[in-house]
Amino acid sequence: MDWYQTLFEMIDMRSFSNLWFWIMLAVMWSTASHWVLGVPFDMVLRARRYGGEAEADLEDIVRINVNRLLYIAQVSGLWLLGLGFFALTSLVLLAFVYDIEFAQAVLLLGFPMSLVGMLSLSTAKLIRVEGSTGEVLRRRLMRHRLYTQIIGMVSIFVTAVWGMYQNLAVGPLAG
């Protein structure tokens, strides 16, 4: 077998039949649910379990990340929103008007993550407005993680159903 053929079989543009796509999907959602507003979730659990310095560390890192997110949103939020909508609209057109499977795969990864990004911004605003600390802060972060996991579960389900449809109805054996 040719080296190039082996390489291109591993980096196949037929996303839904490629193992690397599914590994990336799992890693993406695992990472998204572990890092809550840029804070590793084990810090939330440690703060709840031990309090004291762990609680102070959690509040400090959340304050830093909330300030960072809200600063980015304030300074370049409209540009990021415009570019995000442009990218998602382009992906929708490429995916469903031009029927490009790679664009479908990227859209099924990118759209739910944009929802998580908006959720993160909303949670950051709530934390700042409330001045959340202690138990209220931990509860808010846990709720954010739960919503992220729900978005992830729905996303994985929709992606799996669409991927099975693509592989069965539109795949290489169907044509």
Which amino acid would we find at residue 137?
L
Residue 36 — φ and ψ, nearest 5°?
A: -95, 110
Alpha-carbon span 169 to 175, nearest angstrom: 9
Structure tokens at 161: 């159903």
Alpha-carbon span 152 to 146, nearest angstrom: 10
For residue 66, what pLDDT is reported?
97
b/e map 44-65, b = 16+ CB within 10 Å: bebbbeeeeebbeebbeebbeb
Alpha-carbon span 59 to 42, nearest angstrom: 14
Note if the pTM is more than 0.85: yes
**Could you state, in order of their start, the residue ranges of all structural domains in the chain?**
51-168
Alpha-carbon span 108 to 110, nearest angstrom: 6
Name the packing angle between helices 134-165 and 101-130 (round to 10°).
Answer: 170
For residue 20, what pLDDT is reported?
87
pLDDT in tens, the chain (175 residues): 677 777 666 665 578 888 889 999 999 999 999 999 999 999 999 999 999 999 999 999 999 999 999 999 999 999 999 999 999 999 999 999 999 999 999 999 999 999 999 999 999 999 999 999 999 999 999 999 999 999 999 999 999 999 999 888 875 555 4
For residue 19, what pLDDT is reported?
86
For residue 124, what pLDDT is reported?
97
pLDDT tens digit string along 124-137? 999 999 999 999 99
